[in-house]
Chains A and B, each alone.
Chain A
Amino acid sequence: MGVPAAIDLVDLALKATTAYQRPDLGARLEQTRKRLADPNVRVLVVGEFKQGKSQLVNALVNAPVCPVDDDISTAVPTIVRHAETTTVTLVRERGEGSPPERTTVPANQLAQYVSEAGNPGNRALLTYAEVGLPRKLLAGGLVLVDTPGVGGLGSAHGAATMSALPSADAVLLVSDAAQEYTGPELEFLGAALKLCPNVACVLTKTDLYPHWRRIMELDRVHLGDAGVRSEILPVSSMLRLHAAQTQDEKLMDESGFRELVNFLLNRVVARADDLDRRSTGQDVLAVCDQLSAGMKAELSAQENPERIEALVGELTRAKSRADELKQRSSRWQITLNDGVGDLQSDIDYDLRDRLRTIQREAEQLLDDGDPAVIWDQFSEWFHQQVSSAASANFVWAAERARYLASQVAEHFAEGAEVALPQLRFDQSDSMAGKVNALEQPDSEAEGIGGKLLTGMRGGYGGMLMIGMASTLAGLALLNPFSIGAGVLFGAKTVRDEKKRELARRRSEAKVAVRKHIDEVTFQVGKDSRDMLRRTQRDLRDHFSGLAEEVSTSLAGSVAAAQSAVQATASERETRIRDLKAELARIDGVAQRARALMGEAPSQLLAVPAGSAKSL
């Protein structure tokens, strides 16, 4: 949710950067503002087939938006968000560069486009459908995404869901109360947690199964065994819809939806708000510190004219160290460049290794059977293997990239710490504190997933295209007609011919497999390299910008301190008064930033509560 107070504060700080002529700091705030302006909190609803995902979304918004059927399942993700009036839009993305194609359709026709019945295997090639609804629940920016059943990590849908996870703020894993978690479900949960840590498990259809409490306990044990600390929310969509119809409060309690809605509002939306508040507060605080650094240096110089030289010397040394941070030879730059290089080769190796194993197995399978007969099952198996290899590779790459980012942040912070020794001034009253602008990167490391790694959000686009395509190159070579005859012959006279034919089919099938693996290695390899490059660029830009800002601030400080040398005693008096007033004004902004962060529940705050009081 866009927090209005946060936006106001950013605007105020923006004015200050203009007033003090620091457009470089302004740019950073502009970005913060842009991030705040996108208020959406995306919640992905995922799970196996027929677990009641669509019905859960319907019950949450109390409207039949997602088609529900005993048999037919969802084929296209449906995004449900707030709107003034009910609207349905179909979105078809057309690759990078060109804008997505958007078509508005009447609300009652949605089922034709998003269910397997109207759009089998997503033949219409829709990327997603978007439903706008006037609902209070959604007004806070909550966006619910109903996804097709994953059918295990290996399926194309599973891979698609997986690649959408890094951009989600929370995930609801839906499983019905008919049975405890199965192997594939827990496997999916484990992988999902690596990409999106905010996961809740929803146990649906509690109205139907007398033993749902037992199942919930069993599930809890399974989660515990797997080391997952998500909570389980038992719900009945049927009861909730019925309760909404009959306005029955008691039934509403029984449906378990109050807890789910609470979770969404307090733990997801509010948490996103907290993150917004906190990161905005941090950004503004950092800017304030940068703005005041020069003035503090001057103030200190004015108040202690005898120490000006020492001060200037220290500041100059600090500046040169800050400049070093900008150099390619600085530690964080090396960590980043080496890290990305290593990562690239590791990920590439991992992918090749996985695919090579698949290829070996595939060739073994083809040798053991007749490609003409097993081709259908074979190609499905093959696709599953390939997409699950690509998914696993992606999860791993994302995890490693995130780790690298935190590593870089840490090394940058260390460098900054060295560059800026605690500038303690003799007169250590409230105004002259530690120049703590560079504490920033530490807290940055936490929010790093959402903010810095935007490059990761693109996922493996090309891989999905391959995963979805259900035909293998080279399939056409096998003429089904000759196969039929071959199987039916069975007589000895044609045995040699049959053997020759079989050998030919096998070698053709193997060529097809190799070609496909080549294609996948190429595409996925390119996607992962692109992803890493985007990540690298994002990190480099971010930290270089930060180093630049520090350097500029320090240059200003040096100049300000030097200017103090020429001042007369009376000028000095006035200047000190002015500086104190200016600093007080900036401090006002900083206070507001701290207050903004203070609004968040305390356990979510990285900043110790005492820091706001000391000023």
Chain B
Amino acid sequence: MTAPPQLGSVVRVLLRRTIDTYRDSPQAVGWLQHNLDRFDEPLRVAIAGKVKAGKSTLLNALVGEEIAPTDAGECTRIVTWYQDAQVPRVTMFPRHASPRQLTIHRNQGALSFDLQGVPVEQVDKLQVDWPSQSLRTQTLIDTPGIASLSKDTSARAGAFLAPDDSPSQADAVIYLMRHLHATDVHFLESFYDQGVARATPINTIAVLSRADEIGVGRLDALNSARRIARRYRADDKIRGLCQTVVAVAGLLAQTGRTMRQHEFTALTALAALPRPDLDSMLLSVDRFSRTELAAPDSETRARLMERFGLFGVRLSTTLIRQGMTDPNTIATELVRRSGLDELRGVLSTQFAERRDLLKARSALLAVDLVLTREPRPSAAPLAQEVERILAGAHEFAELRLLSTIRSGVVKLAPEVLEEAERLLGGDGGSAAARLGLEPGAGPDQLRAAALEAVTRWQRRAESPMSSRAVSDVARLVVRSCEGVLAGLH
């Protein structure tokens, strides 16, 4: 079996052909050119969720620096793009004026932006250029909260993430939720649109955020949060809306990645206190910062509480007591426990590995929009081409089948469905992930497993006992397995 041409290049060719056909329409050309350029940019990942879900905190944790401003009240009111660049720079894009550069203020490490008197509702977006390793593979987009009290702020997030008139500007979405609310489900659903290539929950990951607070700051709080995330993962309805659900304690992750020496010193001093004293201080945040104590002083403690949270202080002092004396080990342990590593793993299998597919999908949506907005006879072959790519590209067939399986209409035993999902790339696109093997598995082992899977699903496809629907599923799975085999050669 010859490997089909790369999806990415096919779509690129299609984009160029469409630009050619629409040469005389500057608007269409501009839009398509923009999408062609977008093909080569890093993946755009939007971070969305209800107000105060911890979007900016998570963004900081992912970047490893406190660059997004955070606050106790509602904070992010403008869609803000964070992208990698040589020189730090903040640019404001007002709605009816040309972009303007803003001065950067830093307050205790955190950035703050001065809009120079322009009202927020007139700002389309902010763009933060920031030299950062973490932003090299993906551009992160911070969005205002949904269900915000200022209706306009909510509307701005909605318009950005699920615009009514054109495909979304984000390639993928991390959706943050505290505990699942009715509005959350509604919002997830709006991504799950019924258009051509949109019919997949494939570009969404849900994060159960502020995980440390779910268990009201108890030491086992994160276990509770993980259990809840597991339950959500198993919930049919949520599975139909997003790839997976991960629990993350954003504050802990952010602090873990940006911990400073003086904070560690203060924590060590606290850990040296007699146990009952510390426990009684840690009963409430007020007690913690107000108790009479010489060192660390009250202000330092208040600052610690802000950075670590009750759970973070409890956890780090416990870790120090247990014998961790190195700030780096503590920081790593905090990040590990926060669930951030798990999230980054998922991001890499679900988004980074699928980069081409997600980009192609965004581009096809863009072409589709032009074709429907400005139909013309000469574009008819292009429409057919879009259809052909959508129907023909096995990657899209896999996506469609994955969402069909997840919507629960295929009647097969749960463990069989689970295997089908895995082989179709539901847990990651690499050969090992598809075959359910360890990442380091050798080629022989992979080949054996793939051959075995092909045989098994071939049998299922041809069995007279299988219904038509099951045979169709099986045939597609077989094709995925063959793809894996072809990739091994």
Contacts and interface: CB of A to CB of B under 8 A. Distances in A.
A23 interface: no
Contacts of A178: 52, 178, 210, 213
Interface in B199-257: 199, 210, 213-217, 221, 224-225, 227-228, 231, 237, 240
Contacts of B410: 484
A182 B51 contact: yes
A183 B147 contact: yes
A254 B287 contact: yes
A603 interface: no
Contact of A484 (B74, B284, B469): B469
| Residue in A384, A487, A490 with the greatest tally of chain B CB atoms within 10 Å | A487
Interface string B451-489: 000000000000000011100110000000000000000
Contact of A70 (B186, B215, B400): B215
B166 interface: no
Interface in B162-214: 178-183, 185-186, 189, 192, 194, 199, 210, 213-214
Interface string A457-476: 00000000000000000000
A151 B289 CA distance: 35
B285 A239 contact: no
A71 B245 CA distance: 15
A225 to B, nearest CB: 8
Nearest to A384: B182
Nearest to B190: A377
A182 B148 contact: yes
Given A151-B182, A208-B216, A483-B409, A71 B228 contact: yes
Contact of B472 (A222, A380, A384, A485): A485
A214 B72 CA distance: 7
A279 interface: no
Contacts of B148: 182-183
B487 to A, nearest CB: 24
Contacts of B180: 49
A384 B302 CA distance: 43
Interface stretch (A285-293, A298-306, A365-373, A594-602): A365-373
B350 interface: no
A70 B283 contact: no
A376 B237 contact: yes
A467 to B, nearest CB: 13
Given A70-B228, A152-B182, A487 B404 contact: yes
Contacts of A208: 213, 216-217, 284-285, 310
B285 A207 contact: yes
B30 to A, nearest CB: 28
Interface in A207-238: 207-212, 214-215, 218, 222, 236, 238
Nearest to B193: A369
Contacts of B306: 210-211
Contacts of B199: 373
A71 B154 contact: no
B176 to A, nearest CB: 13
A215 B179 contact: no
B284 A207 contact: yes
A263 interface: no
B411 interface: yes
A190 interface: no
Contacts of A238: 216, 283-284
Contacts of B472: 485, 488-489
B119 interface: no
Nearest to A250: B287
A480 interface: yes
Nearest to A368: B194
Main SS at interface, chain B = helix
A152 B183 contact: yes
Nearest to B148: A183
Interface string A177-199: 01111111010000000000000
B221 to A, nearest CB: 7
Which bucket holds chain A's interface residue count? 35 or more
A611 B221 CA distance: 63
A71 B231 contact: yes
A186 B305 CA distance: 29
B467 A182 contact: no
A484 B412 CA distance: 12
Interface in B106-164: 147-149, 151, 154
A473 B286 CA distance: 55
B214 A488 contact: no
A151 B181 contact: yes
| Residue in A48, A181, A373 with the greatest tally of chain B CB atoms within 10 Å | A373
B310 A71 contact: no
Interface residues of B, number: 61
A155 interface: yes
B221 A180 contact: no
A152 B228 CA distance: 22
Interface in B279-317: 283-287, 289, 302, 305-306, 309-310
Contact of A369 (B74, B194, B284): B194
A184 B183 CA distance: 9
A287 B20 CA distance: 94
Interface in A230-278: 236, 238-239, 242, 251, 254
Interface in A162-183: 178-183
Contacts of B287: 254
B469 A485 contact: yes
A154 interface: yes
A377 B192 CA distance: 10
A182 B411 contact: no
A183 B157 CA distance: 15
A375 to B, nearest CB: 10
A53 interface: no
Nearest to A69: B224
Interface string B260-284: 0000000000000000000000011
A155 B183 CA distance: 11
A49 B404 contact: no
B73 interface: yes
B391 interface: yes
A491 B216 CA distance: 54
Nearest to B310: A208
A186 B469 CA distance: 48
A505 interface: no
B284 A236 contact: yes
A154 B93 CA distance: 37
A206 interface: yes
Contacts of B221: 70
Given A49-B179, A183-B148, 11 more contacts: A50-B214, A71-B231, A152-B182, A178-B213, A181-B149, A182-B149, A206-B285, A208-B216, A238-B284, A372-B409, A485-B472
10 contacts: A70-B216, A180-B51, A183-B147, A184-B183, A205-B216, A207-B284, A212-B285, A372-B409, A481-B411, A485-B469
Going nearest first, the 9 A-B pairs with the smallest beta carbon separation are A211-B72, A207-B284, A179-B52, A70-B224, A488-B472, A484-B409, A484-B469, A369-B194, A210-B285
